[in-house]
Amino acid sequence: MDTLCSHSGLDPLWDWNVTWYTPHPDLTQCFQHTVLVWFPCFYLWVCAPFYCLYLRFYDNGHISISSLCCAKTGLCLCLAFFGFLEMVYLLVERSRDIESHMVFLLSPIIRSLTMILAVLVIHLERLKGFRSSIFLFLFWTLAVICSLVPLRANIQAIIDEGFSADAMRFVAFFTFFSLQLAQLILSCFADQRPATLKPAFVKNPCPVEDASFLSKVLFWWYGRLVVKGYRSPLKAEDLWSLREEDTSEKIICDLEKEWAKQWAKMQQQEGAMNGAQALGYKLSEQTQLLRKLHKEQSSGFCLLRTLAKNFGPYFLTGTLYLVIQDVFMFSIPQVLSLLLGFVRDEDAPLWKGYVFAFLMVLLSCLQSLFNHQYMYTCFTVGMRVKTAVMGLVYRKSLVINSAARRTCTVGEIVNLVSADTQKLMDFVVYFNAVWVAPIEIALCLFFLWQRLGPSALAGIATVILIFPLNGFIAKMRSKLQEVQMKYMDGRIKLMNEILSGIKILKFYAWENAFRERVLGYREKELNALKKSQILYSISIASFNSSTFLIAFAMFGVYVLIDEKHVLDAEKVFVSMALINILKAPLSQLPFAMSTTIYLCFLFLRLWFLSNVSGNVDGVVIDNGTFSWSKDSTPCLRRIDVKVQRGSLVAVVGHVGSGKSSLLSAMLGEMEKKSGHVTVSGSVAYVPQQAWIQNATLKDNILFGCERKDSWYQKVLEACALLPDLEILPARDATEIGEKGLNLSGGQKQRVSLARAVYRKADIYLLDDPLSAVDAHVGQHIFEKVIGPNGVLKNKTRILVTHGLSFLPQADLILVMEDGEITEMGSYAELLSRKNTFADFVKAFSVSERKESATHRGTRKSVSRLSMTDFSIDFSQEQLISGDMGSASIQTMEAISDTEQEQDQEEVGRLTQADKAHTGRVKLEMYVDYFRTIGLAFIIPIIFLYAFQQAASLTYNYWLSLWADDPVVNGTQVNTDLKLGVFGALGFAQGIAVFGTTVAISLGGIIASRHLHLDLVNNVLHSPMSFFESTPSGNLLNRFSKEIDAIDCMIPDGLKMMLGYVFKLLEVCIIVLMATPFAGVIVLPLTLLYAFIQSFYVATSCQLRRLESVSRSPIYTHFNETVQGVSVIRAFGEQSRFILLANSRVDHNQTSYFPRFVATRWLAVNLEFLGNLLVLAAAILSVMGRSTLSPGIVGLAVSHSLQVTGILSWIVRAWTDVENNIVSVERVKEYAETTKEAPWTIEDSPLPSDWPRSGSIGFQEYGLQYRRGLDWALKEISLSVNEREKVGIVGRTGAGKSSLALGIFRILEAAKGKIFIDGINIAEVGLHELRSRITIIPQDPVLFSGSLRMNLDPFDGYTDEEVWRALELAHLKNFVSGLPDKLNHECSEGGENLSLGQRQLVCLARALLRKTKILVLDEATAAVDLETDNLIQSTIRTQFEDCTVLTIAHRLNTIMDYTRVIVMDRGHITEMDSPSNLISQRGQFYRMCREAGLV
C-alpha cells in the first residue's frame, strides 16, 4: 500500500507523528485516499453475498416501486455517475502520467461499482418485501463517517487557501458528500407495505410493523401512544391490534404441531420401556415409583423443549445483542483508565482528553441501545410463552379427565394462568444470566488482575464466599416459596368456593368460620413470606455491600502485602468501575438460579398438560367396568346395555346407585377398566346440576349455533320458557349471572334442557332434568320434549329420573343398585317379574298414580300449560338477584368519579365488567398504604436510608483522598489507618442496608395483612346483590394477583426506588463537588427527566390498569369452562370455547405489549440524558484538569457512569410502585360498596334461647328488590303459630321465596316488620338471626374439607350428635362405610358425592342445628321416591315441635300440613288448611287438579 501511495506522490499510509504525537492530529493523505474510501465499499462487497443468501429465505411479497425507492435509486446512480465523471476526468487530464495517479483512479472506479451494487441490493430488497434495511444503513453510516476526515481537510483548505484555489474539486466533494448524507437520511425511513401484505382491514395496526430500522432501535415508533396517553387517559380502543406472530392462534397452532412431535417421541421411548417390561421383567415398587417420577419430569422437559424449539431462534437474536452489549460494557473502564492517565499526564495535548470523553459516551450509548434491544426481545418472547402456556392449560382443562380434575382444582388452574405464567416470563428475561453472568464475572476478575495482580484473587475469594451464601439463601427461599404457593393455592381455592357458595354461608351465618379458615391460610402464607423476605434482605445486603467487600478485600491485600504497592486514582477508580460491572451479574445470578429452580418446579406442575384423556367415539356398552380414576376401585361393574336408535330409556335407582356415573361412562368422562363403549352420532347432555354461562339467556340456549327463529320459538315453548321471558327484564337478551345466579333452580334446568334440544343431536343424555321443576311443568316438558310425542320423539333418549309417572312410556328401563344394572326391560315386563322394582313401584305409586292420571283430565288443561298463567318456579335464586327490573345494578367500579347513566338497551345487563380507573393514582392511596404501615416504621426506614447513603458517600470520598495521597519514597503513609476507616464505613453501610430492607419488608407484610383482612371483611359483609353483579373472576383477581402484588411487588419496588433515589443524590453531590459547573447541566437535565417521566408514568399506569381489567375475564372464562367441561365436551363445542379463550388472552396481551415497550422507550430516552451527564462530567474534568486531582476526577466520572442505570431504575421502580399501588386502589374499591346490616349487635337484649316458641308474625310487610322496582311482596300481614306446619305455593314470581328471603333478611324490608317470638328481626344482628333459624336450600352446596366441617364448621357439636344427625338423614350407613368416616374429604363443590347425597348432607345440617324454625325450599327434588319419603317422615317426626315453612313445588308433600298459603303477585290470595282450600274450589284447587291430586 505504501508503494502504491509513493507512486502517486503521497506520504506513507500511517505516521504516528502526524496522527497521535501532535497537538493537531490528522490522517495521512494516503490513508484518506485509500482506506477511508475503500473500507465502506469493502464492507458492502464482502457482506453482500451472505445478505443475498439471507434474503433468499426471506419472502414477504414484493413492494411496488415507491417514491422512496426511486429517490434511493436516483441518488445511488448520481453517486455512481460522479465516480465515472471523476475517472473520465483523470483519464483525459492525466493520461500521460496515469501511473502516478493510480490511487486517484482506483477510488472512483471502486466507488462507482459499489454504488451499482447498492442499487441492485435496494431492488432485491424491494422484490423480497424488505422495508427497512439495516445492511444499507450501516453502509451509508460508514461512508459518511469515513468522509468526515476529508470534509474537515477540505474546510481547512478553504480557510487557508480560499475557495477559488481549487473551486472545481471543492464543489465536487461537497456535492458528493451531500448525496451520501441524503442517502443516509433516506435509509432511516421504511418503505410502504408489500402488496401481498396489505391487510384486509386491521383496526389500529401496530406501528412497529411500519417502523424503520432506526425507529425500531430507538423505539420512536412508540412515541405517539405516549403523547396520546399523556393528553387523555388511554382506553382499550386506543391500543394497537396484536401483530399476527403474537396472536394466540398463530402461537398455539405452531406449538401444538411441535408438541405432537415431541409427545410422540416420548410415547415411543415409553413404549420401548414397557416392551422390556412385557418380556417378563417384574419391576419392584421402587423402580415403578422412579419410573413414574421420570415420566413426570420428562413430560415437563418435553414441554420445555417444545417451547425452546418454537421461540428459540428469536430468543437467540436477543442473546446476540446481549453479547455485543457486554463488549461495549467492558470497553468503558478501559477508556476511563485512559482518561485518568490523561488527567495525570500534564503534558498530554487537550484534544486526547476530549476524544476519550466522547468515546466513553459513545460506548455508553451503544451499550444502552443493545441492552434495550435485548430486553425488548426477551419480553416479546416472554409474552409469547405466556400466551402459549395459557393456551395449553386451557386446552388441557377442556380434555382433563375426572381423575385429574379431582387433583387439580379451579383455584390451582387460575393460579397457573395468573402467578405462574408471570414467573415464566421472568425466567425468559433472566435465563441468559445463568451462563452470561459467570463469563462476565470471569472477565471482570481478569481485568482486575491486570490492574492489581494477585491481589485480585482476594476479590475472587470474596465472590466465592458471597456465592454459596446467596445460593443457600436462594435454595431456602425456593422451599419457602413452595410452602407459600401451597398456602396461596389453598387460600384461592377456598375463596373460590366461598364465592360459589356465598348464599349458603349467608343462610347459615357461617361467614366467620370460613373467614377464619381463609385467614388461617393467609397467616401461614405470610409467615412463609416473612421468613423468605428476611433471607432476601440478607441476600440484598450482601449484594449491595459486595462492591465494598470486594474492593476492601482487594485493596487491603494489595497495600498490605507490599508497601511499595501504591493506590493511585487510575487503579482505584478503574477497579471500582469494574467492580460496579461485577455487581450486575452477581445480583442476577442468584435471581436467575432461583427462577430456574422455580421453573423446574413449575414444569412439574404443568406436567399434567401431558396426560391428555381420550374422549369416546361411540350407545352400546359391552361388559363395561368403569372407575373415576385409574387407581380407584370400579364404581360401575358388569354393565351391558344396548340402546335402540330412537328409543327412550329410563334409568332408575336409589341415591348413589350409579345413575349419573352411567351417563358419564357413555360420555367418556370415566376411566374404562374393561369392555367396549360405542356411541354412534352426535350427543347432547343435560347434567344434573345445570351449568349456565355468564351470558344472555339466548346465548345460553343457542350455545354457538345459528339462530333459526321458528325452531328457537318451538324449543322455548316445549321447554316451558315462554312465561319466563315475560318476567325477565330484557326477555331472552337478559344477562344471566355466573352459574345462573339470577335464575331459579327450575329455570336453570329448563335453560340447560333447551340448550340440548336446540342442538338437534342424535343422542340425548338427560341426567334427571325434571327434578328441579314443579310436577305439572315436569309433565308438560315430558310430553312436549322427552316423551313419545315430544320434539325429541325420533332421537335416542337416555333419561335418569325419580318420577315414576314417566316410566310406563319408556321403551326400556334400567334399574341400578350399587353400580350394577340389576334389572332391565319395559315397564310391564319389570312389573310382571315381581322383583325389587315391582315392590318399589307398588309402595310409592299411591301419590304418583294420581299424578300420572293427568291424562284423564280435559285436554284443555294440558294445552293451557303453555300459556303464561301456568306455574314455573321462578323464585329461589332470582329472589336475591335484586336485578329483575329495568335498570342495572349499581356500577361496582367507580368510573373516574362520575355516575354513569345507563341506556334503556342496557336493561338486561346484570354483571359489571371490571372497569379501569383513569388518570394518575390518587395521592390518598399512598397515604392509605403508608398509614397502614404506621409512622413508627416509616421514620426509621428513611433515617436508615439516609445513613446508608451517607456512609457510602463518605467511603467513596475517602477512597479519592487516599488515591490522591502523595507518594513518598515509593510508598504511601498510614495505609493501615486508611484501610481501617474505609472498612468501618463500608460495614456500617452494609448493616444499614440490611436494616432498611428488613424494615420495608415487614412494613409491607403489615400493610398487606391489613389490606387482605379488609378485603375479606368487605367481601363477606357484602349483600347478595353484590355477588350477582360482580363476576367471581373480578373477585378472584383481587385475591390472587392484586394481593400478590401488595405482598411482594410494592415492598420490592419501594426498596428499589428509595435505594436508587438516595444513590442518585449521592452521585449528584459527588459530581457537583468535583465540578461545580456541572450544576448548569444537572438542573436542565433534571427538568427534562421529570418531563419525560411524567409522559411515561401517565401512560404506563393506565396500561397497567387496562391490563389488570382485561385479565379478569380470562379467569372468569377459565373458571366457567372447568365447571362446565362435561357439557362443553358432550356438545363438541371445544373449538368455540378455545376461540373465546384466545380472544380474551389476546385482548389482555394488547395492553401488556405496549406496557413493556413503554419501559424500553423510557429507558432509551433517559439513558441518553444520563450519558449527557457523563459527557459533562468528563469534559469539565478535561477542561479543569489543571485544578482537579486525578482522585476527584476518577470519583466524579466513575460515579457519573452509573447515572444512566440509576435513572432508568428509579423510573422503573417508581412506575412499578405506582402500577402496583393500583392494586391497593382495586382492593380498597370494595370498601365503598354497600354492606349488609351488622352481624351482631352489642349489648343486644336477645334471650340466649330465642326463639323459644317459633311463632312468626308479618306486619304489613313489603319487599322490593331495589328502590323504584315493583313490589315483590305487598303489605303481607300474617301470623304463624308455634309448631305450625305451613306450605307456601304459587305461580312463578308470586313471591314465595321472597318470603323466605325476608325472614333471613337476605333482602331488607322496604316497609312493615317481621316478628319472631314477638321480637322485631330488624333490630337483631344478622348472625344472631340466621344462626337461630334454619333453611334447607334447593341447591345443596358442599365445601372442600372434611364431611364434619361441612356439617359443623364451628365445631360446636360432639361426634355423637353429628352421627345422630347423619342417622336421621339416612346417611349413617354411607358415611360409616367410608374409610375416613367423618373425616372423609369432600372435593371442591362436593363433587365426590352424588347430588342426592349432598341433599341429605344439607338435611343433616338442619337436624344438627335443630332450631325452632325451619324453612324448607323443596329440597327433595334430587332424591329417589323412597329416600324422599324417608326425608318427609324425618322432617315430620324430628321437627314436630318446630315451626316449618315449606316452599312447595310438589303439592303432595304439603297435603297434611296445618295450613297452606297461596300467593300471587306478592299478595296472599288464599290461606287455610289444604282440605278447606280444596273445598273452596279456588286457585289451590285448580293447582291440585293440574297436579292430578283431586
DSSP letters along 1100-1130, please? HHHHHHHHHHHHHHHHHHHHHHHHTHHHHHH
CB 1185 within 8 A of CB 353: yes
How many secondary structure helices (H) and strands (E) does the chain include? Answer: 51, 21
How far is Cα 1050 from Cα 926, in angstroms, rounded to an integer?
11
- The residues pairing with 812 across neighbouring beta strands, listed in sequence order, are 649
Amino acid at 765: L
1457, 1472, 1471, 1442: which is closest to 1282 by C-alpha?
Answer: 1442
How far is Cα 1434 from Cα 864, in angstroms, rounded to an integer?
37
What is the torsional sign of CA 1043, 1049, 1051, 1057?
negative
Virtual torsion, Cα 720, 726, 730, 731, nearest 10 deg: 30
Q: Give residue 613's pLDDT.
A: 43
Virtual torsion, Cα 1283, 1284, 1289, 1293, nearest 10 deg: -60
How far is Cα 897 from Cα 883, in angstroms, rounded to an integer?
23
How far is Cα 1115 from Cα 914, in angstroms, rounded to an integer?
12
pLDDT tens-digit series, residues 271-306: 776 666 555 555 565 666 555 556 555 666 777 788
Low-confidence spans in the chain with pLDDT less than 50: 612-618, 846-905
How far is Cα 67 from Cα 73, in angstroms, rounded to an integer?
10
Instruction: Please count the CA atoms within 13 angstroms of the CA of 1045 that sit on its side-chain side.
Output: 21
Q: CA-CA distances (angstroms) from residue 844 to 396, 795, 848, 851?
A: 45, 30, 7, 12
Residue 1210, C-alpha cell as written in the block: 428509579
How far is Cα 574 from Cα 580, in angstroms, rounded to an integer?
10
> How long is the chain?
1494
Q: Give residue 567's pLDDT.
A: 81
User: What SS3 state is found at 1415?
Assistant: strand
Residues with Cβ within 8 Å of residue 566, at least 6 apart in sequence: 967, 970, 971, 972
Q: Give residue 283's pLDDT.
A: 54
Beta strands 1319-1320; 1311-1316: pairing state: antiparallel
Q: Give residue 1455's pLDDT.
A: 82
- The residues pairing with 636 across neighbouring beta strands, listed in sequence order, are 626
CB 767 within 8 A of CB 687: yes
Q: Give residue 877's pLDDT.
A: 32
- The residues pairing with 1464 across neighbouring beta strands, listed in sequence order, are 1467
The C-alpha angle with vertex 138 and arms to 135 and 141, in degrees rounded to 5, equals 150
Secondary element (H or E) of residue 217? helix 213-218
How far is Cα 120 from Cα 128, in angstroms, rounded to an integer?
12
Amino acid at 506: K
The count of other CB atoms within 10 Å of the CB of residue 538 is 16
Residue 831, C-alpha cell as written in the block: 312389573
How far is Cα 717 from Cα 480, in angstroms, rounded to an integer?
59
Q: CA-CA distances (angstroms) from residue 915 to 204, 1016, 1107, 1400?
A: 22, 21, 11, 42
How far is Cα 1062 from Cα 1065, in angstroms, rounded to an integer?
5
The C-alpha angle with vertex 962 and arms to 961 and 968, in degrees rounded to 5, equals 115
Q: CA-CA distances (angstroms) from residue 220 to 208, 238, 1094?
A: 9, 18, 17
Q: CA-CA distances (angstroms) from residue 1216 to 355, 1089, 1204, 1210, 1221?
A: 38, 17, 18, 10, 8
Q: CA-CA distances (angstroms) from residue 604 to 289, 293, 388, 558, 609?
A: 16, 10, 17, 49, 10
What is the torsional sign of CA 341, 344, 345, 351?
positive
Phi-psi region of 9 (alpha: psi -120 to 50; beta: other; left: phi over 0): left
How far is Cα 726 from Cα 715, in angstroms, rounded to an integer?
16
